[in-house]
Structure 1
Amino acid sequence: MYDAIVVGARCAGSPVAMLLARQGHRVLVLDRASFPSDTVSTHYLHQLALSKLRDWGLLDRVIGTGVTPIKHLNFTYTGIEIPGFADPIEGIDTVYCPRRTVLDEILVGAAREAGAEVIERFTVTDLVFDGDAVVGVRGREAEGTELEFRAKIVVGADGANSVVAQKTGAETVRHVPAAGFVYYSYYSGLDWGMHHRTGFGEQQFGTWPTNDELNLLAIIRPRERFGEFRADPERHFQDVFDDIDPEMGRELRDAGKREEPWRPMRYPDNYYRRAYGPGWALVGDAGYHKDPFTGWGITDAFKYGEVLAGKIHSALAGEVSMDEALAENEKIRDTESAGTFKLTCSLATLVLSPYYHAVFSATAKSPAYIKKFFGLIAGGYPGEEFFAPHNLEQLYDEVGVPAGQRILTEG
């Protein structure tokens, strides 16, 4: 009997397992993949995510892989240009975008080092119930051997298509249709730094350096254009860069060399699922997913994985009931992620609402508010403060926006 079984060993599952194992709990981690292995991802680690890695003793390992440090961001949205970077957050003054082949192996290794048992290439096919309560999992090893494991709590960290969510019937409590799709790959020959640029005509490109002196280049387009795009991705990818920034488009054509196959990401819709029930909990994309536009997937996996591990530990230690612990975890997740979810869903449409257009146009004219903007993006400045009407009034006063053009609230 395990204290906890974690289904899924990537950015949400391994931290949960590691933190529980460090508290002395008996933990089993199951994943259908073997590591190192790749998965589609934005790669982006916000400063908040890096502070978690530092606290867990893993940041130096990530930096030691040779991933390029980033200290300046170029954010453009339909003609509004906001270059800059956030002030240090918990001492972190740099961001990184490591390959998932690198990051996930470090996380899985840390879970093992903490004492968690990890079984790779194991596919969970069903849950074991005692009445309404989940008491374990069933699945098969790569060789086909069927196995069953029991635990006091089963954590689904197995992504948007979570088996744990499906088998428990976890209810979707909020749903916003996906707006776009992503195509990306890795390029040599470019030294662009980090750009996040949305142009007119519902198109966006992003560039950021990663491991092995490569740059990840990505585009986002509306979902209904996916079929047309995949018919000739090379041409359409180049077209997005040419349309948004002709100079960068020329450099891509002349100097950029694609080193790996295309990675298309036709993301699922944005949603919150019920995060727990008798004997089970969800974390990461299994419980809460939003568009990749703001790159918050890994950071949220770390943040709420740490919260969940702490709540499960308190229950296993007898401080509160498991139901109370998991209910509090869900409350924290839903409350603290609401602003990021709302902003992401809006920006991902690739068309600014009048409210966001007014706010960001004013922000671009204020060096002080630009710092707050990047603090918001990095997770160090609360959204409720950034968008607070009294703060926006001060911003509009500072940059001279006429009273009739000021929008203080959305809707």
Structure 2
Amino acid sequence: MYDAIVVGARCAGSPVAMLLARRGYRVLLVDKVTQPSDTVSTHYVQQYGLRKLDEWGLLGRLAATGVPAIRRMTISYRDAVIDGFADPLDGIDLTYAPRRTVLDPILLEGARTAGVEVREGFTVRELVVDDGRVVGVRGGYGAEEPAEYRAKIVIGADGSQSFVARSVGAEIYRSIPAASFVYYSYWTGLRTHFHSRIGVDQQVGVWPTSDEQTLVAIMKPIARWAEFRTDPEASFLQVVKDVVPEFAEQLVDAGERVARLTGIRYPDNFYRRSHGPGWALVGDAGYHKDPITGQGISDAFVHAELLADRVAEGLAGERDLDEAVADYERARDAATASAFQFAATIGELTLPPQLDAVFTAMSGNDEYAKDFFNVIAGALPGEQFFAPENVARMVGGVRA
């Protein structure tokens, strides 16, 4: 009998398992893949995400992999450009964008070191339910006969297409349709910093990642998906030329693509019910937003810790376990509401007039730009930056 079974061993699952095990609880962590294993990702970890890794004693391990530090960001909307970086956050004056084949094994090893029982290549085939309450899982390796494992709580950290969520019938209670699609790949031979550049109905993202490679990604409206796919390579390069022509020259002259060009249509932005009798959801399983802000990994860390804290309260008998997990969902939703809406809005690649005015104001004022970089870092609440009175101050009286 385990205290908790966690399904999914990536950016949300490994941390929540690790944090529960560090409190002395018996935890089983299972995943159908074996690390190192790649997955679709923005790779980017903001300062508030790195702060969690630092608190958990894992940041040094990530730095030791040689992933390049990012200390400069260029962000633009059409002709409005801001360039700089956030203030240090608890001494962290950089960010990283590691490949998931680098980051996820570090998180998994952190869980193992904490005493978590880890089973890779393990497929959960069904949840065990007793009198309406989830009490465990059935699963195993390959075609072997499934075995049953029981726990006081089963946590689904298995992504936006979560098996756990489907099995318990977790409903989506807020959704905003995805507005764009993404194509991305990796290049060597490039020397660049972080770019997130929005042109006319298209976006280019560029940042250095592991193994001396650079991730280059583009976004365009979903309505252009079929047209783009008629010649993805030419279409991809044209977007880069349109939005960041100076980088496009380097891409053509010095870059060598070392992976296939991958195109994906992201799931809609959603909040999914993330608690119920004997179960919880964390990471993209319970909450997913447009990748344009690149907050998925950092949010997964924060929410894993939030959930671990509430589950620990329930397991310790300090409060009812189900109520504690319900409180986790409420706290998560309250903390992410503005970021969720912001990501969905800029994911449309055409900003409403107020946001357009804010970007224009930031491009001409270093103080406003620094505040925005601090929002990205997690040092300044978005609600404070985008408060009507602050927006009016920045744009000279335009009402939010």
Range class of TM-score, shorter chain: over 0.9
Match of 2:121 in 1: 121
Q: What is the alpha-carbon distance in structure 1 between the residues aligned to residue 294 and residue 139 of structure 2?
A: 32
Contact 2:204–2:244 (CA under 8 A) maintained in structure 1: no
Partner of 1:331: 330
Separation in 2 of the partners of 1:228 and 1:38?
Answer: 28
1:106 aligns to 2:101 (yes or no):
no
Show structure 2 runs of 5+ residues with no match. none
Structure-1-length-normalised TM-score? 0.95
Q: Distance in 2 between matches of 1:205 and 1:145?
A: 47
- What is the TM-score of this pair, normalised by structure 2? 0.98
What is the letter of the counterpart of residue 274 of structure 1?
A: R
Residue equivalent to 1:131:
131
Other-structure match for 2:230 = 231
Kindly provide the amino acid, as one letter, of the partner of residue 136 in structure 1: G
Task: Report if the CA contact (8 A) 1:281-1:326 is conserved.
Answer: yes
Q: Which letter maps to 2:321?
A: M
List per-residue Cα deviations over 1:301-332 (Å, max 9, x = no partner): 00000000011011101111102211110111
Structure 1 segment 182-331 matched on structure 2, within 5 A: 182-200=182-200, 202-331=201-330
Mind listing any 5+ residue stretches in structure 1 that lack a counterpart?
none
Matched ranges for 1:84-103 at <5 A: 84-103=84-103
The 2-side partners of 1:105 and 1:263 are apart by 23
> Does the aligned pair in 1 maintain the 2:233–2:261 contact within 8 Å?
no
Q: Which residue of 1 aligns with 2:158?
A: 158
- 1:10 partner SS: coil
Q: What's 1:167 paired with?
A: 167
Deviates more, 1:57-66 or 1:216-225: 216-225
DSSP 3-state at the match of 1:301:
helix
Q: What is the letter of the counterpart of residue 280 of structure 2?
A: A
Q: Shift of residue 394 of structure 1?
A: 2.8
> Whole-Å Cα distance in 2 between the matches of residues 274 and 208 of structure 1?
34
1:8-28 CA deviation, whole Å, 9 max, x = no partner?
A: 000000000000000000000
Could you tell me whether the CA contact under 8 Å between 1:157 and 1:282 is conserved in 2?
yes
Q: Distance in 2 between matches of 1:63 and 1:227?
A: 40
Q: Is the 8 A contact 1:153 1:280 kept in 2?
A: yes
Q: CA RMSD in A?
A: 1.1
Q: Give the Cα separation in 2 of the matches to 1:250 and 1:391.
A: 39
Is 2:46 aligned against 1:54? no
For residues 238-293 of structure 1, give each alpha carbon's deviation from its aligned partner in whole angstroms, at most 9, with x where no partner exists. 00111112222222112111011223232110000111000000000000000100
Alpha-carbon distance in structure 2 between the residues aligned to 1:76 and 1:369:
14
- Contact 1:13-1:157 at 8 Å conserved across structures: yes
The question of whether the paired residues in 2 share the 8 Å contact of 1:40 and 1:263 is answered with: no
Quote the Cα distance in structure 2 between the aligned partners of 1:254 and 1:162: 42
Tell me if structure 1 keeps the 8 A contact 2:140–2:146: yes
**Partner amino acid for 2:152?**
K
Q: Secondary structure at the match of 2:186?
A: strand
SS of corresponding position for 1:190: coil
Equivalent position SS for 1:21: helix
Contact between 1:7 and 1:30, CA under 8 Å: does it hold in 2?
yes
Name the aligned partner's letter for residue 265 of structure 1. Answer: I
Question: How many correspondences in the alignment?
Answer: 400
What's 1:361 paired with? 360
**Is 1:9 the counterpart of 2:9 in the alignment?**
yes
Please give the alpha-carbon distance, in whole angstroms, between the structure 1 residues aligned to 2:299 and 2:246.
Answer: 35
Distance 2:169 2:319 in 1: 25
